[in-house]
Amino acid sequence: MNKIFLVVQREFLTRVKKKTFLLTTIGLPILIFGLYALIIYFSVESGSVVTVAVADKAQLFNGEIKSDDDKINFQFVNDYNEASLKEKLRKKEFSAYLLVPDSTKVMRAADLKVVSNESIGVISQERIEKRIHSALEKRRLLSLNLTQGQLDSIQAKNRIQFPTLEGDSEKENVAGFSYLIGIVSGFIIYIVLFVYGTMVMRGVMEEKVSRIAEVIISSVKPFQLMMGKILGIGAVGLLQFIIWIVLISMLPLLLSVFSPEMAQQMAESKMSGADISQQTGAMAEALASFKQLPLLLIAGSFLFYFVGGYLLYSSLFAAVGSAVNEDPQDAQSLLFPIMMPIVFGMAIMMKAANDPNSSLAIFGSMFPLTSPIVMMARLPYNPPLWQVFLSYGLLIAGFLLTTWLAAKIYRTGILMYGKKPSWKELSKWAFKRS
């Protein structure tokens, strides 16, 4: 046991002390956050205000087009003619003009031209179009002798809900949110399996290629070396995730310290929508549905599947690493059958997030090779608890089985040099008695 700890310690420290660890662990979230901030910055700052002069000769809009203060501004200059509009545009008194000829009728479609000096950006074009359309729509409805009150009731939206039979009246449907939580956590597990699994494989290959494996296993048992490596890298992964979580939750705070302006903009950008009250309502709703999720179960299961899935797959990755030699191409062909269930798991997970109780989803969330990914997508939909615990149990059993088989391949493979073993040989190594 003491020796496993020594191996774990070395695996952990050599990786954590590397510069690349610092770079990926601290640099990556900063990079992602920086990009995010940049995107928001540009979307907030996107260009200057576009001022559109409207010469409404036909009284089409009745002087009513909603302006958007910091983006689009409509000015009514009904007494200007085409020549004066052109001249003012050249002098840059406004960015564009819209001339509505006398002959235009409210109820008849007509071509409207927004003339500008330089071509207007796509986003601004879309905004201008939307404003003009809604103004025109309102005018048309009012011209049918509707009152403003009638108009408002036409435009009122219904809220449509999807409660389940079992759910009590308070329990509302949280499908959208469940979907998101499920997909995101399943995807994280998928990434974990790939990234740390291949890290284990490369570690084993390094030991074999540098020919230190035999030196080490004259001091420790091959199983101790393998487990030490798996646990050490697992600890690196956990540490990395903890740092990421802390950093991500701290970054907005840091940002407001270093650049208060930008933080303010970010906060504003969340609120400045078409309809602020509607958005806050949606957010409150999201928060409420968040509280209804089985949060403790999701968090606990995430940790369990993170560790369990990692342990299950990393021993397989270690076995592959021990079987191949210098040639990374050998690894590729042996990796294929390990990658397949992970990718399948991802595919089933996408389906399970849409249809959590289909037989494929239930199977995928039980089968140990896919359950860490698939079950995460089912959990927000409150699957029967017995299924969750059965899945836990099967994962533990699967982990014990793969580790047992992988350890046998590993102890033979790590001492074999020369050509890549065939599948037949590998299975012989795995099932021979020790």
Q: Which is nearer to another protein, 210 or 277 (CB)?
A: 210
- 220 forms part of the interface with another protein (CB under 8 A): yes
Within 324-370, residue ranges assigned H as helices are: 328-354, 359-366
Give the strand pairing for 50-56 and 114-116.
unpaired
DSSP label at residue 27: I
- The pair phi, psi for residue 52, each rounded to 5°, is -110, 120
Nearest to 204 by CA among 411, 425, 429, 432: 411
Write the CA distances from 288 to 107, 169, 173, 281, 300, integer angstroms.
Answer: 45, 14, 11, 11, 21
CB of 310 to another protein, least distance (A): 23
Cα–Cα dist 341/197, whole Å: 13
CB of 337 to another protein, least distance (A): 23
Q: Which is nearer to another protein, 31 or 212 (CB)?
A: 212
178, 380 contact by CB (below 8 A): yes
- 45 forms part of the interface with another protein (CB under 8 A): no
Tell me which residue has tokens 């021979």: 432
Interacting span for another protein (CB under 8 A) from 1-9, 119-127, 128-136, 188-196:
1-9
- 216 forms part of the interface with another protein (CB under 8 A): yes
Nearest to 34 by CA among 233, 346, 258, 363: 258
- 423 forms part of the interface with another protein (CB under 8 A): no
Q: Which is nearer to another protein, 108 or 433 (CB)?
A: 433
- 326 forms part of the interface with another protein (CB under 8 A): no
Report the residue from 49, 110, 212, 385 that binds another protein according to the rule CB under 8 A.
Answer: 212
Q: Give residue 431's identity as a one-letter amino acid code.
A: F
Q: Which is nearer to another protein, 131 or 229 (CB)?
A: 229
Report the residue from 123, 215, 242, 248 that binds another protein according to the rule CB under 8 A.
Answer: 215
Cα–Cα dist 191/189, whole Å: 5
- 3 forms part of the interface with another protein (CB under 8 A): yes
Tell me which residue has tokens 């109780």: 357
Q: Which is nearer to another protein, 208 or 378 (CB)?
A: 208
Nearest to 345 by CA among 311, 394, 309, 399: 309
Nearest to 97 by CA among 70, 122, 112, 116: 116
CB of 214 to another protein, least distance (A): 4
Q: Which is nearer to another protein, 15 or 378 (CB)?
A: 15
Q: Which is nearer to another protein, 9 or 59 (CB)?
A: 9
- 428 forms part of the interface with another protein (CB under 8 A): yes
Nearest to 175 by CA among 281, 290, 280, 295: 290
Instruction: Tell me if residue 434 falls in helix, strand or coil.
Output: coil
Which residues, other chains included, contact 104 with Cβ-Cβ below 8 Å and sequence gap of 6+? 57, 58, 60, 110
162, 173 contact by CB (below 8 A): yes
- 66 forms part of the interface with another protein (CB under 8 A): no
- 417 forms part of the interface with another protein (CB under 8 A): yes
Report the residue from 10, 66, 113, 133 that binds another protein according to the rule CB under 8 A.
Answer: 10
- 217 forms part of the interface with another protein (CB under 8 A): yes
Q: Which is nearer to another protein, 161 or 422 (CB)?
A: 422
- 434 forms part of the interface with another protein (CB under 8 A): yes
- 218 forms part of the interface with another protein (CB under 8 A): yes
How many amino acids of this chain bind another protein (CB under 8 A)? Answer: 22
- 415 forms part of the interface with another protein (CB under 8 A): yes
Q: Which is nearer to another protein, 60 or 217 (CB)?
A: 217
Contact residues for another protein, defined by CB under 8 A: 3, 6-7, 10, 14, 206-207, 210-212, 214-221, 415, 417, 428, 434
